[in-house]
Amino acid sequence: MSSMALADSRWIARGEERVSLPRFLAWLAPWIVLLAIGVYAAGLCLFYGLNQTNMDNRFAFGLWIFLDLGIIALGAGAFFTGFLVYILKRAELRPILNTAVVVGFICYSGAVAILMIDVGQPLRAWFTFWHPNTHSMLTEVTFCISCYLTVLGLEYVPILLRNRQLRKLPSFLVFERQLHKLVPVLAAVGTLLSFFHQGSLGGLYGVLRGRPFAFREGIFIWPSTFFLFILSAIATGPSFLMLVVAIVERVTGRNLVAQDVFRRLGRISGVLLGVYVAAKSIDTLIWLNFTSPSEGFAPWQYYIYKPFGTPVLFTEIVLFGLVPAFLLTFPRTAEHRGWRLSAAALACCGVLMNRFVMTVQTLALPTLSFDEFLSYTPSWQELASFGAVIAYGVIVYSLSYRYLPLFSRSGGEDSHVPGH
Amino acid sequence: MFPGIDGFHWTVGHIVFICLFFAVAATILTTVSSAAWRTARIFGSERWLTCAGKRISRNCRNPTADAAMNLQDV
Amino acid sequence: MSARYGMVIDLDRCTGCGSCMVACAAENNVPALPQATARTGITPMLVRKASNGKEGNLRREAFIPILCMHCEHETPCVHVCPQQAVELDAATGIVMQMPQRCLGCRYCMTACPYHARYFNWWDPAWSAGMEKSLNPGVATRMRGVVEKCNFCHVRFHAAKEKAAAAGRREIDPADYIPACVEACPTGAIRFGNLSDPNDPVTQDARSANAFRLLARIGTEPKVYYKSNEEWVRRLAESGGQSDSPTHTTRIPAQQAEELHV
């Protein structure tokens, strides 16, 4: 074994088998290239300005905002799994906890990175903390996501410190142990923060009086989209986790998590998805028949523009909502791995479609009577930055899988046996 | 607007918001500080100092793991 | 007593000449960017065109100057700005934008029902020699921030200074005229204090043929339009083309009954 491979093997947990270093680097190479292209594209946007994108005064939000909302919704599995394990004491989900934290960290850090490029003056990001507008949903989102990213980082630290070499440092070992004892507190804080920011991301659009396609009535200061976004996030977070683990199992060629964990995640996702579909359907009916007409917008005028016709509504609620909810709860299909994963993929598509409809379709539709239906196509810089976030996620997860005990039998609990 | 800046006035929204935010921030800071403080306390304990010098002692074969596992004795 | 500055724009007089747009750009030091397009250019005053949807000799068109409506009720942009870079000035009713505080998140642009907000997609630049034509009273804006019409607030300040120099507390209305109002060759754009019942603009705003765009949304815009043509008044609400089955009119209910509209 070469000295480099030998050094690398010392970082891999004892008893765990991983592919050779050259093969691992070959796996990482295309993702690193994708990341590099995306970083270059982001650099262009930061240096030359947002004219590098195809966003304009009518499409002020574009691909990046859709990406942000989408990956934050999918990353909800992190807080929700933590809530289930530490608060509701669902210990059977513990094997997937580390992955949930890593996936959550990737999703939120990626979203924040994209936001820093998306705003016109990133260096002024601290202004929101210094001059907060307590009436704005975006202020609430900023505060909560900043705090939650900190919490996720803190939850990631104990996993990092369980690396074979890092554990040898006494201070790291003891600190990791101490922090791990307090993770339930962080999980509770994370649940509170996530509840609010997932909701406020929905509230961003629900409060827009000037966009009747998105505007909703609600409870007190919170439009119905506040609650719908929370529901859809906690419904699809577990599905996304299932998909991630299934992909990792396929790529690594090993069974990492017991099928029972998948079944439980699927059941939780299916039930919540069913609740979400019911709530969304009721909300849509209220919006179509009361809210929108009261603002002077007839119910079906939104759907006369191709390609955003009523099939979009049907696809979002039925194909990507009701169908996966059924597949994940009906015993015959819920017990079958293939159906379960297909349903999980449909559910994830559903939440992405919902976020797309609320961002892009909202802006495409005319409001003034002499407006036109608008279209927008992202520039290569926007697509490359999008690709960079995905590449970043794959790289971070790959490194975490290789060097950290993400799937140790007891989730890392027994990593302190003397002599190891 | 910020307290102290001309034109600022307190509302219920400000109070709720600031209370919640500082409660969360305080919880996170307390959690990290608590873990760091307990870590420092373990390394300052007499037992750790004794064990550190005796790598092959029966009682302290792995002094770090020992310290981590038996915190209530420290 | 605080003022509520507003406008009434007579669409029957507007010829679509665009003088208001040019005057606004000159007054506010809007950069002349050749690479800007219709959807990326900065036009705090923008003349739009609408038609009655018919063809041939039945076709009618109208020009509709669109600017910030300075909404009074739950002003959308004020409500959504995460760092309070927008404020409804209680003394004048003008919705003020602070480019120095703007983060460039563009949430206000999404929130504005009238699409009256514009983003600086490029660094401002003027060709050599053009900087001599800049208005020294108006600060230029940097790349990455949002801007919009502010009813030439600098002129309001100048009017206040003039009044103060003359020992008066209230400004002379003749001293505060926004650039677009001044430039309009037909007098289609009229500006005044909607709090003053004697102001001709206030009386115009209450006339039977006056309407506000998307009034049913409930943001209480302070820019009124008026027209004797019913098809133009129908443009007030979404789906306002005369052959659309979903139109609604927006004139005060009492007058609507009298006119049998």
Q: Give the DSSP per-residue string, C1-51.
A: ----EEEEEETTT-----HHHHHHHHHTT----TT--TTTS--SSEEEEEE
Q: Report the distance separating Cα A390 and Cα A396, nearest Å.
A: 10
- Model confidence over A340-352: pLDDT tens digits? 999 999 999 999 9
Residues of C in contact with A130 (CB under 8 A): 83
Asked if residue C61 lies in contact with residue C136, where contact means CB atoms within 8 angstroms, the answer is no
Element (H, E) at C166: none
In this model, does residue A259 exceed pLDDT 80?
yes
In this model, does residue A178 exceed pLDDT 80?
yes
Domain that residue B67 falls in? 45-74
A40's CB contacts (< 8 A; 6+ apart) are A384
CA–centroid distance for A131 within its chain: 28
Q: Which of A52, A55, A64, A103 is nearest to A82 (CA)?
A: A103
Residues of C in contact with A304 (CB under 8 A): none
When CB atoms are compared, the residue of B17, B43, B65 closest to A416 is B65
**DSSP-assigned beta bridge partners for residue C65:** C47
Interface of A with B (CB under 8 A): 130-132, 134-135, 140, 143, 147, 150-151, 154, 170-171, 173-175, 177-179, 181-182, 185-186, 189, 192-193, 416-420
Q: Dihedral angle at the C-alpha atoms of A208, A209, A212, A215, nearest 10 degrees?
A: 50
Quick one: pLDDT at residue C194? Answer: 95
**Closest chain A residue by Cα to residue C51:** A370
- Model confidence over A283-339: pLDDT tens digits? 999 999 999 888 888 877 888 887 888 899 999 999 999 999 999 999 999 999 999
Residues of A in contact with C125 (CB under 8 A): none
> Which chains have 3+ CB pairs within 8 A of A?
B, C
**Domain at A18-403, CATH class:** mainly alpha
Confidence of residue B3 (pLDDT cuts 50, 70, 90): low
Domain that residue C121 falls in? 5-259
Mean pLDDT of A376-399: 96
Find which of B11, B33, B38, B70 to mutate to test the A interface (most A CBs within 10 Å of its CB).
Answer: B38
* C111 with A212: Cβ contact below 8 A: no
C167's CB contacts (< 8 A; 6+ apart) are none
**Other Cβ atoms closer than 10 A to C159:** 18
Burial class (CB in 10 A: 0-12, 13-18, 19+), C177: middle
Q: Which of A63, A402, A40, A39 is nearest to A251 (CA)?
A: A402
Residues of A in contact with C218 (CB under 8 A): 209, 295
**Closest chain A residue by Cα to residue B56:** A419
**Range A150-188 burial, b when 16+ CB lie within 10 A, else e:** bbbebbbbbbebbbbeebeebebbbbbbbbbebbebbbb
Residues of A in contact with C123 (CB under 8 A): 49
Q: Report the distance separating Cα A246 and Cα A255, nearest Å.
A: 9
Q: C119 — phi, psi (to 5°)? A: -105, 145
- Ranges of each domain in chain A: 18-403
What is the dihedral sign for C-alpha A175, A178, A181, A185? negative
Q: What is the 3-state secondary structure (H, E, C) of A76-119?
A: HHHHHHHHHHHHCCCHHHHHHHHHHHHHHHHHHHHHHHHHHHHC
* B24 with A177: Cβ contact below 8 A: no
Looking at the domain assignment, is residue B30 inside a domain? no
**Other Cβ atoms closer than 10 A to B23:** 12
Quick one: pLDDT at residue B58? Answer: 47
Distance from CA of C12 to the nearest CA of A (A): 17
The count of domains in chain C is 1
SS3 category, C56: helix
Find which of A57, A288, A362 to mutate to test the C interface (most C CBs within 10 Å of its CB).
Answer: A57
Q: Which of A356, A360, A361 is nearest to A302 (CA)?
A: A361
Residues of C in contact with A225 (CB under 8 A): none
Residue with tokens 């690479």: C35
**Range A380-416 burial, b when 16+ CB lie within 10 A, else e:** ebbebbbbbbbbbbbbbbbebbbbbbbbbeebbeebb
Q: Is C104 on the interface with A (CB under 8 A)?
A: yes
Q: What is the CA radius of gyration of chain C?
A: 19
* B27 with A154: Cβ contact below 8 A: no
Which letter does DSSP use for residue C132 in this model?
A: G
Question: How many C-alpha atoms does A79 have within 13 Å on its Cβ side?
Answer: 31
Quick one: pLDDT at residue A161? Answer: 87
What CATH number is associated with residue C19? Answer: 3.30.70.20
Residue-by-residue pLDDT tens, chain C, 261 positions: 589 999 999 999 999 999 999 999 999 999 989 899 999 999 999 999 999 888 999 999 999 999 999 999 999 999 999 999 999 999 999 999 999 999 999 999 999 999 999 999 999 999 889 889 899 999 999 999 999 999 999 999 999 999 999 999 889 999 999 999 999 999 999 999 999 999 999 999 999 999 999 998 899 999 999 999 999 999 888 754 433 333 332 333 333 333 333
Cis peptide before A307 (omega within 30 of 0): yes
**Closest chain A residue by Cα to residue C241:** A369
* A367 with C82: Cβ contact below 8 A: no
Confidence of residue A221 (pLDDT cuts 50, 70, 90): confident
* A179 with B35: Cβ contact below 8 A: yes
Give me B19's structure tokens.
């209370």
Q: Report the distance separating Cα A213 and Cα A297, nearest Å.
A: 9
Whole-model pTM over 0.90 = no
Burial class (CB in 10 A: 0-12, 13-18, 19+), C203: middle
SS3 category, C210: strand
Asked if residue A388 lies in contact with residue A71, where contact means CB atoms within 8 angstroms, the answer is no
Quick one: pLDDT at residue C57? Answer: 93
> What whole-number percentage of chain A has pLDDT above 90?
67
Q: Long-range contacts made by residues A150-154, C-beta under 8 angstroms, separation at least 24?
A: A150/B28, A151/A186, A151/A189, A151/A190, A151/A193, A151/B28, A152/A78, A152/A101, A152/A104, A152/A105, A152/A108, A152/A109, A152/A190, A153/A105, A154/A179, A154/A186, A154/B28, A154/B31, A154/B32
Asked if residue A49 lies in contact with residue A119, where contact means CB atoms within 8 angstroms, the answer is no
Q: Is C115 on the interface with A (CB under 8 A)?
A: yes
Asked if residue C163 lies in contact with residue C169, where contact means CB atoms within 8 angstroms, the answer is yes
* A296 with C117: Cβ contact below 8 A: no
Q: Which of C62, C72, C74, C66 is nearest to C117 (CA)?
A: C66
SS3 category, C64: strand
- Model confidence over A112-123: pLDDT tens digits? 999 999 999 999
Q: Dihedral angle at the C-alpha atoms of C178, C182, C185, C191, nearest 10 degrees?
A: 50
Residues of B in contact with A143 (CB under 8 A): 21
- Model confidence over B14-64: pLDDT tens digits? 788 888 888 998 999 999 899 888 888 887 765 555 555 544 444 545 555
Confidence of residue A169 (pLDDT cuts 50, 70, 90): confident
SS3 category, A208: coil
Give me A322's structure tokens.
């009701």
Q: Long-range contacts made by residues A16-20, C-beta under 8 angstroms, separation at least 24?
A: A16/A405, A18/A402
When CB atoms are compared, the residue of B11, B24, B64 closest to A134 is B11
Q: Report the distance separating Cα C23 and Cα C29, nearest Å.
A: 10
Interface of B with A (CB under 8 A): 1-2, 11, 13-14, 16-17, 21, 24-25, 27-28, 31-32, 34-36, 38-39, 42-43, 61-69, 71
**Other Cβ atoms closer than 10 A to B4:** 6
* A171 with B39: Cβ contact below 8 A: yes
Distance from CA of C44 to the nearest CA of A (A): 12
> Which chains have 3+ CB pairs within 8 A of C?
A
Residues of A in contact with B60 (CB under 8 A): none
- Model confidence over A193-219: pLDDT tens digits? 999 999 999 999 999 998 989 999 888
* A154 with B67: Cβ contact below 8 A: no
Asked if residue B60 lies in contact with residue A418, where contact means CB atoms within 8 angstroms, the answer is no
Kindly give the residue spans of alpha helices, DSSP state H, lying in A163-317.
Answer: 170-181, 183-206, 224-252, 259-286, 292-294, 310-314
When CB atoms are compared, the residue of C80, C144, C241 closest to A369 is C241
Residues of B in contact with A130 (CB under 8 A): 2
* A178 with B64: Cβ contact below 8 A: no
Give me A387's structure tokens.
């690709």
Q: Report the distance separating Cα C67 and Cα C44, nearest Å.
A: 6
- Model confidence over A88-100: pLDDT tens digits? 999 889 999 999 9
Question: Interface pTM (ipTM) of the complex?
Answer: 0.90
Residues of A in contact with B63 (CB under 8 A): 170
Find which of B1, B10, B32, B61 to mutate to test the A interface (most A CBs within 10 Å of its CB).
Answer: B32
* A368 with C114: Cβ contact below 8 A: yes
Interstrand relation of C86-88 and A222-223 (parallel, antiparallel or unpaired): unpaired
Mean pLDDT of A215-226: 89
**DSSP-assigned beta bridge partners for residue C192:** C6
Quick one: pLDDT at residue A409? Answer: 55
